[in-house]
Structure 1
Amino acid sequence: MASSARRLLQTNSGQLPTAEPPSPLAVDSDVVVILAALLCALICVVGLAAVTRCARSRASPGAQAAAKGLGKKALRALPKLAYEDAVAAAAAARGGSSAAAAGEERILAECAICLSEFAPKEEIRVLPQCGHGFHVACVDTWLGARSSCPSCRRVLVVDETPKRPPEPKRCRKCEAAMKEASSSSSSGGDGAAGS
């Protein structure tokens, strides 16, 4: 019986089809397609980063300055005017005459930020470069975030007069010597001028 079973196994084993292993070419082509897609994605990301960096570097300095807000000192440097004075200042900033002031009164009818009309005694800030006027609180909030006019987007150039740095502190001996030298030079200069 054992021999017949062996024969049966040997004869039946030859009849069963055997599964072939997957071809290495099919697996390699899938890997190649995936790697090619990843490489294309990487090239696209690097290209977009380069375009973005180039666009930022070519941005005008005025656009970069407009993105930053004005400091408190610069805001205080801008004048606050009553409505009547603001109309005249707006006409002067736009290069107009007193005849144009009547037209400016129509232009300065409302604040372009809050869209409410100006009252005769309200304080208005007229921007020096373009002559547009706004409520002080409205435009100060705007200029704290960006340094351009809310109406025409012109970048503001505020002339902050640079202050001289304070003189360095000196010891009492040096200060006394400086005072003595300045008083002797002023008294010696007066005697020389009189003779």
Structure 2
Amino acid sequence: MTAAESLPIEEFLSSAKSQLIFDVRTPSEFAHAHIPSARNLALFSDEERAVIGTAYKQESREKAIMHGFEFFGPKMKLLVEAALEQSSGKDVLVHCWRGGMRSSAVSWLLNFYGINARTLDGGYKSFRNYALRSFDIPQPLLIIGGKTGSGKTYILNELKKLGEQTIDLESIAEHH
């Protein structure tokens, strides 16, 4: 069994339009921030991750990996069952924080079972950087102003019908 295919962020997001995303980070990492539409399939609990992280910092990488195996082993069947239930056995996308061991382990497991799983190159961190870079791209902004009754809301509604993004401040403020 070879390593799962790792996708660059653009290809990952394009594939996400038709495939389920599993975020294998801890429940608290997922609750803090996640890719829209992703589902949490946590490999480790928050407590387990703390044990692994402490072992990594205070002992060694190898000790941390052994702790990971200790937690991962008993969960293998449950992870596959949860993935099957949510994905109906269809291809899935998997990511963790940096695109490292957690997503690789879960992708390996799912691929071994027969669910095609691909990972996000660079993990959630690459998605976060991708999203932040989008703010650097200049976006056109058009402000529609005018006196009461001049048709501003009508124009916004027509633009919305054409698929344009609009913000109707009058409606938000409930000024009808």
Same fold (TM over 0.5): no
Name the TM-score, length of structure 1 as normaliser: 0.21
Q: Which protein is richer in strand relative to its size? A: 2
**Larger Rg over CA atoms:** 1
Of structures 1 and 2, the one with the larger relative CO (CA 8 A, separation 6+) is 2
Name the TM-score, length of structure 2 as normaliser: 0.22
